[in-house]
Structure 1
Amino acid sequence: MEQSSRDDRLHRLLGGPHTTWLVERMRRRLELGKPLTGSVTLFSVSAEQRRAVELLLGRRPGGGASLSVSLDELDRTLRASRAAPDGLAAAVEQLAGPIRNRSAEAASVAAAWASAFRELDATVADRPELIEWRAWLDTTGVVRRLVADPSAARLVLDAVAGVVQRLPSTGVPLGRLAAEVCGDAHALDEGRPVATLALSAARAMTSDSSLGEALTGRREIWAAVGVHLDELSSTVLCLGLPGESRTPLGLTLAAMRAVGEPSVLTLRQLRRHDGPVLAPQGLVRLCENPVVVAAAAEELGAACPPLVCVNGRPSAAVWRLLDLLASGGARFAYHGDFDWGGVAIAAAVYERVRWEPWRFDAAAYESAAGSSPLSGTPLPTPWDPALQSAMVRRGVRIEEELAIDDLLRDLAR
């Protein structure tokens, strides 16, 4: 009976519609883990709200457009009146229902997310090229947009960590990588959460190289870290590479060289080739654009020396062929477009297989005719640092097609 009487008294004093604002303020404080001390203020107070506080405290709370209530005084009043002998916090819970500890909830969620990232963080700790990428995940909130629940996110992030640990690869099919790391051959298919995050990590791995800003396509990004989407769509164009009679690839190259026709080799052919690909005198010329190979086939035919086209940003097949040539003792000479995209491609190839410039240095640039404006962000030219300065100073873009006559003369010699 006494408990019922106390409950009625508490509801009369603090449970009416004109003290709802006060109970709600105190409830929010408790949910945030803050003590019920100090004062709370209501602006634009009504006469009914002021009268309710007057009845609650047993005194006039003062005039003016605002109303301040001392929570310490309110606690003492409720205890003394026996309306809330256990204090203000118990009174608020009785009126507003169980109090959520939002601070503890937030800490628990934060701990769950930290646990979800634990394996990935351990992996990134040994990969300085991924430090900025890891920060990017937090800044953008991309993981939480892809997977809202931290328990589910942990499975995704553990899979991403496993993929990162396998990169860069020397050449692995995407489906096989997914199957071996994730237990699902389709886990790295476009649009899957693991694929989205792993692809962004793969792109970050190239950001310290010259290809960083140039890589935009999914196929190109995976190829840059040694992963190919399939073995047949990745190809490389070449002309004049010598063959031999021991292997299918050797027979193909020998036949095409004999008739002076370009060869389009698939990654499948190159991956199944056992042994290096040899070149006479050890020199293989590299160009950026297929038009150079077409012109060489037309003008020189079977007399054309070894020529390989990287065809823009190198595919997995290009990288594989260059590795096979390098293992056979080949030396390389390179020509490409005199623009910053061309420089990025050339520098990526230079990182993989060192080459000497083939009319692709500062002297060749200064003497070449051209009038198209050069745009984009300047990039280093490690094979000839003077080239970067010359391109910045002159500001002219020169496409490889403009140098075809000179390139053909070199090949004819």
Structure 2
Amino acid sequence: MTDADRLRRLLGGPDTAWLVRRVRQRLERGRPLTGTVTLAGAAPGQRRAVELLLGRRAGTGTSLSVSLTEIDRVLRDSGASPGGLAAAVEVLDGPVRDLARERAETAAAWEAAFGPLDEVVAARSELAGWRGRLDSSGLVRRLAAGPEEAAGLLRDLARVARGLPASGVPIGRFAAETCGDAHALDDGRPLATLAVSCARAIAGLPFRTDGGAESRREAWAAVGVHLDELSSTVLCLGLPGDGGTATGRMLAAMRGEPVSLTLRQLRRHPAPIPAGLVRVCENPVVLTAAADALGPACPPLVCCNGRPSAAVWRLLELLAGGGAEFAYHGDFDWGGVAIAAAVRDRVGSRPWRPWRYDAAAYREAASGTALTGRPSPTPWDPALAAAMTERGVRVEEEQVLSDLVGDLRAGSR
């Protein structure tokens, strides 16, 4: 049986505290209590304490080296700690942690916490890179106090990921439908931070762990979720108006000038918009040039203005419902390709074709700046992606404005 009083006299004083601490560290790391430990710059009191413990001189010099095997033997033989040095440390300083076991348990808990999200990621290849960035950035571990808190957070995030992309829903309704809480995705909440990064991944936008209000608005809009009905807008030119609705009367009155429609206006428009062939471009400069050159004669033209907002999707939906056919042009870069693919997928069964947005048009365009980013497929013309990869230059719509305006002029006749 351990002689606690004697043990404290031998090993429990302040001058042997360094030794007990070193032994505890070894035990916690699963290392054997063999070999020696050394204290540099040992004080006279620390040296005398070790000499009392060992019953002999502890050498000379500024450092103090102690054999753990010898201390273990002394404690056993003296009866101060029949269980040896490891048992003595627990008597003096409490139970020893098994750090290896704790690390394994923590790792298993984190793996289980990520389980629901990993099920979603396994079925969606576009999320694989984002999932890796969550690990490398440590974003989840910064937002959650531990795996138990993270488990609930990641379950909700998995539900959000399953629900994206949406089809032009308010963020409060989307949050209520996916998380059971209309405020779950409010700015500043941990889930909102993770969810907007997921939205960026699904939309093909670069990974970010933060960003301003406009960045968040853009990310949500790109996956069909709008933060409010007034900030989401779409630019258009040449759409036919009507006398029966407020939006129709505004389009008729503004014929020949670019018009900015809000999501609120479009959600309240009661009927599809018949427009025949609708050309879709990426940049507002095309609308400006078309308005200057053609005025009221310009045929229907819609501008995505970068990543399509909820208002863009709603307008295309109204046009598709009216029997429209679509022709798309954008910047010849990987972002433009992604927008083209998104529009093509969104209009679904309606006829869609590239508008000077194929390999032949790309090769004919003047050289631009260096093409950067991750390549994306161009299923409407696989040769386009191959040509862009081979040529390696970016061509903006501004560089081919005259050709685009010429097509619009021909379409107005």
Same fold (TM over 0.5): yes
Match for 1:294: what amino acid?
Answer: T
- Residue 223 of structure 1 aligns with which residue? 221
RMSD: 3.7
- Residue 240 of structure 2 aligns with which residue? 242
Q: Please give the secondary structure, in 1, of the residue aligned with 2:285.
A: helix
Which of 159, 163, 169 is the matching residue for 1:162? Answer: 159
TM-score scaled by length of structure 1: 0.80
Contact 1:234 1:317 in 2 (8 A): yes
Q: Please give the secondary structure, in 1, of the residue aligned with 2:18.
A: helix
Which of 12, 15, 22 is the matching residue for 1:15? Answer: 12
Which of 192, 212, 218 is the matching residue for 1:195? Answer: 192
Once the two structures are superposed, the pairs formed by residues 91-110 of structure 1 within 5 Å of their partners are: 91-103=88-100, 105-106=102-103, 109-110=106-107
- Residue 349 of structure 1 aligns with which residue? 343
Which of 403, 406, 410 is the matching residue for 2:400? Answer: 403
Contact 2:362 2:384 in 1 (8 A): yes
The Cα of 1:388 is off from its aligned counterpart by 4.5
TM-score scaled by length of structure 2: 0.80
The Cα of 1:76 is off from its aligned counterpart by 3.8
- Residue 132 of structure 2 aligns with which residue? 135
Which of 288, 292, 313 is the matching residue for 1:294? Answer: 288
- Residue 328 of structure 1 aligns with which residue? 322
Which of 358, 361, 366 is the matching residue for 1:361? Answer: 358
In structure 2, distance between residues paired with 1:235 and 1:165 = 26
Contact 2:185 2:191 in 1 (8 A): yes
Deviations 1:321-354 (A, max 9, x none): 2233234332222223344544443343344347
Once the two structures are superposed, the pairs formed by residues 11-410 of structure 1 within 5 Å of their partners are: 11-32=8-29, 34=30, 37-42=33-38, 44=40, 52-53=49-50, 55-58=52-55, 67-71=65-69, 73-103=70-100, 105-106=102-103, 109-110=106-107, 112-207=109-204, 217-244=215-242, 248-253=246-251, 255-256=252-253, 259-280=255-276, 283-353=277-347, 355-368=352-365, 370=366, 372-377=368-373, 379-380=375-376, 381-388=378-385, 390-391=387-388, 397-410=394-407
Contact 1:296 1:304 in 2 (8 A): yes
* Runs of 4+ more than 6 Å apart: 60-66
Q: Percent sequence identity over matched residues?
A: 61
Contact 1:124 1:131 in 2 (8 A): yes
In structure 2, distance between residues paired with 1:185 and 1:153 = 20
> Which ranges in structure 2 are unaligned for 5 or more consecutive residues?
none
Contact 2:164 2:223 in 1 (8 A): yes
Q: Please give the secondary structure, in 2, of the residue aligned with 1:238.
A: strand
Contact 2:197 2:207 in 1 (8 A): no
The Cα of 1:89 is off from its aligned counterpart by 3.1
Q: Please give the secondary structure, in 2, of the residue aligned with 1:286.
A: strand
Contact 1:285 1:334 in 2 (8 A): yes
The Cα of 1:116 is off from its aligned counterpart by 4.0
Q: Please give the secondary structure, in 1, of the residue aligned with 2:361.
A: helix
Q: Closer, same or farther in 2 for the Cα pair 1:247/1:53, shift >3 Å?
A: same
The Cα of 1:284 is off from its aligned counterpart by 1.3
The Cα of 1:372 is off from its aligned counterpart by 4.6
More off after superposition, 53-62 vs 403-412:
53-62
The Cα of 1:278 is off from its aligned counterpart by 2.0
Aligned residues: 399
In structure 2, distance between residues paired with 1:123 and 1:362 = 35
The Cα of 1:110 is off from its aligned counterpart by 4.4
